[in-house]
Amino acid sequence: GAGVSQSPSNKVTEKGKDVELRCDPISGHTALYWYRQSLGQGLEFLIYFQGNSAPDKSGLPSDRFSAERTGGSVSTLTIQRTQQEDSAVYLCASTLHPGTGNYNEQFFGPGTRLTVL
């Protein structure tokens, strides 16, 4: 079956411009996560959706970052007025059974490589 897909795969933008990153989770997966990974670094949690609601936005670096999810499926991460430090790979993951104590493997998309010039 289809895995998690993300678009675009690469995005080069100029400082100050807005960008929109898209994630299509695996069909039926209720939870969706956004992470950021800078070169040589671990994954930095950004935001988590359960259905269409975001119970945990604690990882968003600033108010320039926002995300939404509609129909319990596709999610969009928007970065306004991009800065050079926003350059990173943005990864999306989805899982079928979120929750402590449950087997909740996260399936990752291939990521969007964002470069802010």
Q: Contact between 48 and another protein (CB under 8 A)?
A: yes
With CB under 8 A as the contact rule, the residue among 25, 32, 35, 90 that binds another protein is: 35
Q: Residue 52's CB: how many other CB atoms inside 10 A?
A: 13
Q: Between 80 and 107, name the residue whose CB sits nearer to another protein.
A: 107
DSSP string, 63-75: TTEEEEE-TTS-E
Task: Give the full edge-to-edge strand order of the sheet including 75-79.
Answer: 5-7, 19-24, 75-79, 65-69
Residues of span 12-31 touching another protein by CB under 8 A:
31
Token readout for 69 is 């999810």
Any contact of residue 52 with another protein (CB under 8 A)?
no
Q: Which residues bind another protein (CB under 8 A)?
A: 31, 33, 35, 41-43, 45, 48, 50, 55-56, 91, 98-106, 108-111
